[in-house]
Amino acid sequence: MKKTLIKKDSIDAIIKEANEIIGKNMLLGDKKGWRNKLSATQEEPGATATALGLWFCRETRSEIKIEQSAGKGTSTIEISSYYEELINTVLSMQLADESSDNKLGWALHEHPTISSVDVTATVIKALNHWSLTHIKPEIIVSLQSAAEWLLEQNTESSGKGGTDENRGWGINKNDSDRVFVTCNVLQAILLLNLKLDKNAEDRIKRATKWLLEVKNEEIADEENNTKLWSWGRKRVQQTAEDKPTLYHTAKVLNFLSIYIDWSSDSDRSVIDAYENGINYIRAQIKDGNFSDRNDFVVNEICQAARGTGDNDKHYEHDGFAELVELMMDPRGKWKMHEKCEVLDSFLKIFKDCSESGLEYWEKKIKNSKETRMWLLVPMAKALYDLRECGLPYFDRELIVSPKIVLVDPSRMTKIWFGGYSVLKSVFKGIIKVCWMIFAVFAAVATIYAFLKGGIVYYILGGVGWIVALVCGVLALYTFFKDRRSKGGGHSSE
């Protein structure tokens, strides 16, 4: 079977180019940040793009350099020097209730006066870690207020002032309940670790039950005696558009993992849903079902908010990043070869994409003007996580599945020396055994010579005695020397 070659340099190059794109497209006006579509002409940054840029730089400990005009020339500044200003940019964009000054959510750039459910959830998730580590108390206040606003957008699930059915969230109140929005909202709220009242907890549990209700039809895996659960765009597969997708299934599982940790009384149905969903993803990887860009890029059309005059909004979801996030969670007990299979599938699509192919990085990320931050950032972070998770790059190559060989060129220089060390160890072992054999043989020969008597035998016996003594000493010396070199001969305490 022909092997696939994965070079570590390929991953490094993609991450490097992503860093360069992020760095050179940062806006350096009064408000620092990024636009979502980097070819856009608006002068002000967007809330989501800026929050995602901050999240990426911090999570990857990025050393992005920003070029800034300085007199007649330019100066280079570390991205970390702008963190404070970038946070201020995002906080300044949060909308407030004009009558009460209560903080609401964040808006799409196209409609700066209308809070968006999905944008708000994404900003909370991106800035969550800053609320835990940053000294600015306004971050915590802003995120908590935004989380409360999100909960208020789901009054139908409260059983109070609405219906008593389980409900999720859409991107706005005019939109249908959607799997990806519901997962984003629930993740955002739970990650903040807020003290929630019983009404808020009830909404979260009802929305979680809604997610379990809208799974696709269960599939029985008779070979492994397991059940396979999956999710699509909205509800149980009513149309071809609602068929299972890698993105939506991984999205639900990422949330359920957080929910299981959060809920002290997680019922068995939630745990079963997680385990059966993992079974589905694992079966897809085993069957090699990630061969097309549509497996990694999922399109979804959502209803526009009332009063905007917009057509329905078009979303592109990043299934690769969502799957990698799932595989970084130890709860799933993912095997290393499974991570390699996913990486291999993605790199093949990335390598073969045409100008009209992957919207992640158009024209293989060379044309940064067409790149969207909403897709570039999660993708680059996913590749970074895979690179850092301990993929088994060996001295030269290591076959981790029947098809994949991982190569790390930076370690090629160790091949010869590694081979030499192995041969040297083998040779030393043979010599040690030979010395022991010679020592025993010489001792036996000496005893035999003295028993036979005669001058000739006495001479041979004396020589044999000397040989036996020397070989025995050398064998003992090498034995104790090896033990000491391995730490067995003494303690450093």
Same domain, 285 and 367: yes
Which amino acid would we find at residue 29? G
Task: Examine residue 10 and state whether it is found in any structural domain, yes or no.
Answer: no
Q: What is the CATH number of the domain that holds 236?
A: 1.50.10
Task: Examine residue 280 and state whether it is found in any structural domain, yes or no.
Answer: yes
Which phi-psi region, left, alpha or beta, contains residue 413 (left: φ > 0; alpha: ψ -120 to 50)?
Answer: alpha
Same domain, 130 and 256: yes
Helix (H) or strand (E) holding 202: helix 198-213
Tell me which residues of the chain have a pLDDT lower than 50. Answer: 1, 157-163, 236-237, 311, 353-369, 395-396, 412-422, 484-493
Q: Residue 359's pLDDT is what? A: 41
* Residues 6 or more apart in contact with residue 150 via CB below 8 angstroms: 105, 117, 120, 121, 124, 169, 185, 188, 189
Q: Residue 285's pLDDT is what? A: 87
Same domain, 363 and 465: no
What three-state secondary structure class fits 42?
coil
C-alpha neighbours within 13 Å on the C-beta side of residue 309: 2
Task: Examine residue 189 and state whether it is found in any structural domain, yes or no.
Answer: yes
* Residues 6 or more apart in contact with residue 324 via CB below 8 angstroms: 339, 342, 382, 383, 385, 386
Full domain range(s) for residue 437: 425-485
Q: Residue 219's pLDDT is what? A: 82
Helix (H) or strand (E) holding 13: helix 8-24
Closest CA to 116 of 93, 86, 85, 139: 93
Backbone angles phi, psi at 58, to 5 degrees: -75, -45
Task: Examine residue 248 and state whether it is found in any structural domain, yes or no.
Answer: yes
Same domain, 164 and 273: yes
- Domain end among 385, 411, 437: 411
What are 2's two structure tokens? 């022909």
Task: Examine residue 9 and state whether it is found in any structural domain, yes or no.
Answer: no
Same domain, 435 and 467: yes
pTM: 0.75
Same domain, 332 and 434: no
Which phi-psi region, left, alpha or beta, contains residue 268 (left: φ > 0; alpha: ψ -120 to 50)?
Answer: alpha
Task: Examine residue 40 and state whether it is found in any structural domain, yes or no.
Answer: no
Same domain, 285 and 244: yes
- Domain end among 346, 376, 411: 411
* Residues 6 or more apart in contact with residue 350 via CB below 8 angstroms: 14, 358, 360, 364
Same domain, 335 and 290: yes
What is the count of structural domains for the chain?
2
Give CA separation, 442 vs 203, 431, 445, 464, 473, in Å. Answer: 87, 16, 5, 5, 13
What three-state secondary structure class fits 236?
coil
Same domain, 310 and 374: yes
Same domain, 372 and 475: no
Write the DSSP symbol of residue 227.
E
Same domain, 158 and 192: yes
Token pair 């908590």 is found at 144
Query: Contact, 23 vs 36, CB < 8 A?
Result: no
Which amino acid would we find at residue 417? F
Query: Contact, 87 vs 130, CB < 8 A?
Result: yes
Task: Examine residue 121 and state whether it is found in any structural domain, yes or no.
Answer: yes
Same domain, 390 and 430: no
Which phi-psi region, left, alpha or beta, contains residue 33 (left: φ > 0; alpha: ψ -120 to 50)?
Answer: left
What three-state secondary structure class fits 136?
coil
How far, in Å, CA of 26 to CA of 33, rounded? 6
Task: Examine residue 115 and state whether it is found in any structural domain, yes or no.
Answer: yes
> 349-375 burial by CB neighbour count: b if 16+ within 10 A, else e?
bbeebeeeebbbbbbbbeebeebbbbb
- Domain end among 411, 442, 467: 411
